[in-house]
Amino acid sequence: MENNTGTDPQGNPAPTPETRSFKSLDIPKLAITAANIGVWFMDEQTGIFLPSARMKELHGYLAEEEMSFEAALAQIPKKYRQKVISLLKEARSRQETFYLEYPVIGFHDQQQRWLRVMGGSEQPTTGPSQFSGVIMDITDTKQNELRRSKFIGMVSHELKTPLTALKAYIQLLNKWAKQKRDSFSMGALSKLEKQVKKMTTMINGFLNFSGAESGKIHLNKSTFDLSHLLKEVIEENKDISPDHAISLAAPQQMMVNADRDKIEQVIINLISNAVKYSDPGKPIAVTCLQDETRLILSIKDTGMGIEEKDIAKLFKPHSRIKTNQTKNISGFGIGLYLCAEIIKYHSGEIGVKSEPGQGSTFWFSLPVDDSSPADTKDQHPTTVDTANRLD
């Protein structure tokens, strides 16, 4: 007997010609083609590598040519290759997802392209684990970013020259005011000098950001006392943010071999963020410790905290977390990215632990290999409490 109810024997809607046609389509293949991305698979047991035609094209090969995994890596310039290999090995060993951006030089056309690669390891229910991912051409986007960074660097460099002259004039006037014992002028000039220093720090940040985007952060390393630098930064910021109590727990002396100005910039940025995202009057704790392999500095606040899903975005350029609590807080979204790049260039690590509503603890480490031993006369941390101050 013919079923005219529009359902199959199980009571489900009967397929129409349209749904039959749609189900016959290879949706994943259509999506990959429409997005113009490449894909690849690697059998982790046999090492067999299967790249798509689009992936071959992005590396300068013909679609019908064979391209091994080693051949794909060989198209990456030496400057970036080892980093890419290390991150891929780490992702495979930890069975984690990964995200990479790097340039390649086409095998046949010798054309430079910037690629973005995302992927990870997958363990099927049967058979060996697979290492796979997607790859896309981001050359236009990357070139725009590099042009913007170059412009920022050029403008920042031009701004730095008159600012240096302004700072010299302020110091000259300050010297004159001291000779005249003009307390009002001395106080005004002192505040003006602090604002000039703040502006200089911001311009240096833009210059370093420009360098980081182009892969050129230059370090001027020297041996200095990290504990003294922390006290200095806290003291200099007390007039800027007088509503926060900042405590410091660190050894009396902790010598480190690093770029003092850039490490100072990292500390200023992390403390500024702790102030920015905390309510007035909330405490901020700065702690500095040393173990056998590294120096570890942490900055803990009791502010709004960060969602787990947003933590991965924090150290990416131009990335800002947008919530009802943060929408009125100003910023360019480059501070934490710059901090991460500076610490990376020092062979250190940076990270954060956070819970929404419970605050955040940002930390970074520097290897002891590049550091002088801390003073052994007094390894007991001293606490400097700067109540009602600091940024």
Q: Indicate which CATH number applies to the domain containing 175.
A: 1.10.287
Spatial distance between the Cα atoms of 211 and 198, rounded to a whole number of angstroms: 20
Are 238 and 389 in contact by the 8 Å Cβ rule? The answer is: yes
Structure confidence at residue 225 (pLDDT):
92
Spatial distance between the Cα atoms of 161 and 167, rounded to a whole number of angstroms: 10
Q: Domain count for the chain, please give it.
A: 3
More confident residue, 198 or 367: 367
> pTM of the full predicted structure?
0.53
Name every residue whose Cβ is closer than 8 Å to that of residue 388 and which is 6 or more positions away in sequence. 242, 243, 244, 245
Are 310 and 379 in contact by the 8 Å Cβ rule? The answer is: no
Distance (Å) of CA 294 to CA 87, 271, 317, 368, 371: 22, 21, 27, 4, 9
One domain for residues 247 and 381? yes
Q: Is residue 20 part of a domain?
A: no
Question: Percentage of the chain with pLDDT > 70?
Answer: 72
Spatial distance between the Cα atoms of 59 and 139, rounded to a whole number of angstroms: 13
One domain for residues 250 and 209? no
What CATH number is associated with residue 270?
A: 3.30.565.10
Q: Which of 117, 116, 113 is nearest to 140 (CA)?
A: 113
Phi, psi for residue 364 in degrees, rounded to 5: -145, 160
What CATH number is associated with residue 43?
A: 3.30.450.20
pLDDT above 90 (res 371): no
Structure confidence at residue 32 (pLDDT):
63
Q: Is residue 3 part of a domain?
A: no
One domain for residues 196 and 295? no
Q: Is residue 14 part of a domain?
A: no
One domain for residues 174 and 232? no
Q: Is residue 15 part of a domain?
A: no
Mean pLDDT of the chain: 78
One domain for residues 237 and 381? yes
Structure confidence at residue 29 (pLDDT):
64
Enter the DSSP assignment of 218.
P
pLDDT above 90 (res 363): yes
More confident residue, 373 or 37: 37
Are 277 and 301 in contact by the 8 Å Cβ rule? The answer is: yes
Q: Is residue 289 part of a domain?
A: yes
One domain for residues 85 and 166? no
Domain boundary pick from 137, 154, 189: 137
Enter the DSSP assignment of 279.
-
Q: Encode pLDDT of 137-162 as tens digits.
A: 999 888 877 777 677 666 666 677 77
Domain boundary pick from 108, 137, 166: 137
One domain for residues 100 and 146? no
Are 274 and 301 in contact by the 8 Å Cβ rule? The answer is: yes
Domain boundary pick from 137, 170, 198: 137
Q: What residue numbers bound the domain in which 259 lies?
A: 222-386
Structure confidence at residue 20 (pLDDT):
52
Q: Is residue 230 part of a domain?
A: yes
One domain for residues 205 and 272? no
Structure confidence at residue 77 (pLDDT):
93
Structure confidence at residue 370 (pLDDT):
46
pLDDT above 90 (res 375): no
More confident residue, 136 or 292: 136
One domain for residues 155 and 74? no
One domain for residues 239 and 357? yes
Phi, psi for residue 68 in degrees, rounded to 5: -85, 170
Q: Is residue 8 part of a domain?
A: no
More confident residue, 55 or 169: 55
Are 153 and 207 in contact by the 8 Å Cβ rule? The answer is: yes
One domain for residues 209 and 237? no
Q: Is residue 364 part of a domain?
A: yes
Q: Encode pLDDT of 246-287 as tens digits.
A: 889 998 888 899 988 889 889 988 998 888 888 887 889 999
Q: Encode pLDDT of 38-94 as tens digits.
A: 888 888 778 889 999 999 999 999 989 999 999 999 999 998 899 899 888 888 888
One domain for residues 179 and 89? no
